[in-house]
Each structure stands twice: as C-alpha cells, then as structure tokens.
Amino acid sequence: MTRPRSPSEALQRYALGLARERLLAPVPVDSGRRRAALLRKLKAAGINGWPERMTLFTKSLPMGCRPCLKGQGSNLVMTLKCNRDCFFCFNPEPRLAEMSVHGRSVRDLKEGVALLAALGARSVGISGGEPLLEKRKVLALARALRRHFGRSLRIDLYTNGDLLTTRVLKSLKAAGVSGLRMNLAANGYDPAPAALALGVFKDVEVEIPMIPEDKGRVLVLLGRLEELGCRHLILHELFASAANVSRMDGRRAHERRSGLTWSGVSGSEAAALEVLLEALRAMRKISVYYCSTGTQGWIAQRAMARARARG
Ligand code: SF4
C-alpha cells in the first residue's frame, strides 16, 4: 500500500476504502424484519439519536463522540503492537511499533501534533494496538497536545486496561488525558480495570464490539458498570475487514454501504439494539451508545469534507 501524501488523502482513504485488499462476498441481510421490530420498540421506549444512520443512544452521548459526530474527531495510533490478540482486531498485519494518523505514518510526536492541528481536531483518541506499551510516548503526546491546543481539546486514551495501575492513571491525568475508553471485550468482559480507573478519572467509558453470541455477558457487564458509576457503554457493530476476516469463524458479513473497507457482521446490530432496549428498561444512570458501521462511514465522510474545506 502506498503512503497517503496529505491529511485529506489519508482521510479519503479511510472514508472511501481505497486501501481494501480483499472484499467479502455480500450475503443477504436476513435480519431486516427483526431489526425493524427492534427499532419500533426502541422508538416507543424513547431512544435518542439518528435512526436513519443507526446512531442511537439511551441517555447521553459520550463527550469524545460529540466532536467526532461533527467530523471534528481524530485519532493517533501510537503503536500497532499489543499484548493481546483478539479475533475481532481490525489492525493490519504486521503490527508494527509505528505511529500513524488515519493510516498516514508519522515520524515523531511533533509531526503527529502538526497533522492533528491541520485536520482541525477538537477531540483526539490515542489508540493502538495497546498504546500503554509506549507509556512514555503517550504521556509526552498528551502534554504536547495540551500545550498546542489548550484545555478545549478532548483527549481520550483507548486501552484494553491490562497495563493500568493507579500510578499510571495518575500520570495520564497529570499529562492532560481527559478520559479513558476501555475495550473490555479483550479481557472477557472483566470490569476490574474500569473500577480501578474510576478511582482517578471521572470519564471512564467502555467501548466494545458487539459480538452477537456474547450478548448475555455484555448485559452482565452493563449492570456492573452501572453499579461502578461508569457513564457510558459504547457498542460498535462487529465488522469484518481485510485484517480480521480470516478469524471470523464463519460469521456472515454483509456490505451495508458500498465503498467501505468493512462489513457489519450478521446479528451484531440486532444484539446491540437488544442491549439498548434493556438499558432503556433497567438502567438508571449509565447511557448506552450504539455506533454502527453506517455511523462510522458517515463520520469519516464528514471528517474528509472538513479536511478538504481546510485545504
Ligand atoms: S486489545 Fe485492542 S488492539 Fe489489542 S488485539 Fe485486542 S482489539 Fe486489537
């Protein structure tokens, strides 16, 4: 794959899927009626959001998602290396210790900050791989972002939570990180890292792919997160891409939108809608947010339009 030359080209690739190496054969969507029935129930129960692009939430949107939904969110991958090897991981192989912004590799933190500034980011996710494998660089990046953007920028650290300690959490907070996004599907839905993080950060959000057969475990996790005082559970539609399709174990994928590099996995969306319904019914404080592949494609298009407008 050739390297994108500019921020807008990097975003264009992200949005339009020019980097696709392998296509999944589309299969008919068999869950249309079930999905429509669930959507009717959700609307009757007072769901919020934009059902036309399957962006739905029960109470409030996570702080970092607000700029993202306006096309003002961005992301810096600190490293593709990880201490886990989840079957659903969409990071491309080989998993190199390389920094990148929307697929464009960056040499150092200074270049990364300049690129994020050129994209007009209002919120930045520091992700990976597992970014805490490069803890010192994460701290240096957070400080550099704070120096450049001031307090207005939202900085979320994406982590599987394995390497968190109270000391690490305090140093992240002191460096200017606003909140944490934890993928607890990586550890089998153990909420312990979220409980630890809530001792230091107010904004601890759990963000997981909705694996259809794990719906019961996700509901148990939801109840635990409510007890702990977590504000948001973010569910992504599980998707197959060139990077993970060989490990999808016969899961059926369908192309939701032409031009995307990924395809939603059959049953994931319906399971997410069922979790939303349960949250509306039984959760008093925690908000569940569903971010579909359609939403992610839409976000990427908005970000690209914004980057183009900035030249
Ligand atoms: S923890 Fe995250 S980055 Fe690591 S393998 Fe799992 S999905 Fe990929």
- Give pLDDT, residue 17: 41
Structure token digits, residue 205: 């959000």
Cα 102 to ligand 1 centroid, rounded to whole Å: 17
Could you tell me if the CB of 82 is within 6 A of ligand 1?
yes
CB of 69 within 8 A of CB of 299? yes
Q: Is 309 exposed, middle or buried (0-12, 13-18, 19+ CB in 10 A)?
A: exposed
In whole angstroms, give the CA distance from residue 163 to residue 81: 14
In whole angstroms, give the CA distance from residue 57 to residue 101: 28
Q: Using one digit for the tens of pLDDT, what is the confidence trace for 178-221? A: 999 999 999 999 999 999 999 999 999 999 999 999 999 999 99
Q: Which residue among 77, 160, 187 has the greatest number of ligand 1 atoms within 8 angstroms of its CB, and so is best to mutate? A: 160
In whole angstroms, give the CA distance from residue 271 to residue 253: 15
Cα 147 to ligand 1 centroid, rounded to whole Å: 29
Cα 45 to ligand 1 centroid, rounded to whole Å: 34
Q: What angle do CA 201, 234, 141 make, to 5 degrees?
A: 50
Tell me the pLDDT of the chain averaged across its residues: 85
- Give pLDDT, residue 261: 62
Please give the domain boundaries of the chain with CATH numbers for all domains: 32-310 (3.20.20)
Structure token digits, residue 244: 């993970």
Could you tell me if the CB of 39 is within 6 A of ligand 1?
no
Cα 160 to ligand 1 centroid, rounded to whole Å: 7
Ligand 1, atom 5, residue with closest C-alpha? 85
Q: Using one digit for the tens of pLDDT, what is the confidence trace for 36-54? A: 899 999 999 999 999 888 8
In whole angstroms, give the CA distance from residue 311 to residue 8: 8
Q: What is the pTM of this model?
A: 0.86
Q: Using one digit for the tens of pLDDT, what is the confidence trace for 72-113? A: 888 999 999 999 999 989 888 888 898 999 878 899 999 999
Report residue 31's pLDDT band, with 50, 70 and 90 as the boundaries. Answer: low
CA 238 and chain centroid, separation:
11
Residue 250, pLDDT above cutoff 80: no
Q: What is the 3-state secondary structure (H, E, C) of the chain?
A: CCCCCCHHHHHHHHHHCCCCCCCCCCCCCCCHHHHHHHHHHHHHHCCEEEHHHCEEECCCCCCCHHHHHCCCEEEEEEECCCCCCCCCCCCCCCCCCCEEECCEEECCHHHHHHHHHHCCCCEEEEEECCHHHHHHHHHHHHHHHHHHHHHHCEEEEEECCCCCCHHHHHHHHHHCCCEEEECCCCCCCCCHHHHHHCCCCCCEEEEEEECHHHHHHHHHHHHHHHHHCCCEEEEEECEECCCCHHHCCCCCEECCCCCCCCEEECCHHHHHHHHHHHHHHHCCCCEEEEECHHHHHHHHHHHHHHHHHCC
The least confident of 16-25, 82-91, 154-163, 199-208 is 16-25
CB of 173 within 8 A of CB of 229? no
- Give pLDDT, residue 63: 86
Report residue 7's pLDDT band, with 50, 70 and 90 as the boundaries. Answer: very low
Could you tell me if the CB of 91 is within 6 A of ligand 1?
yes
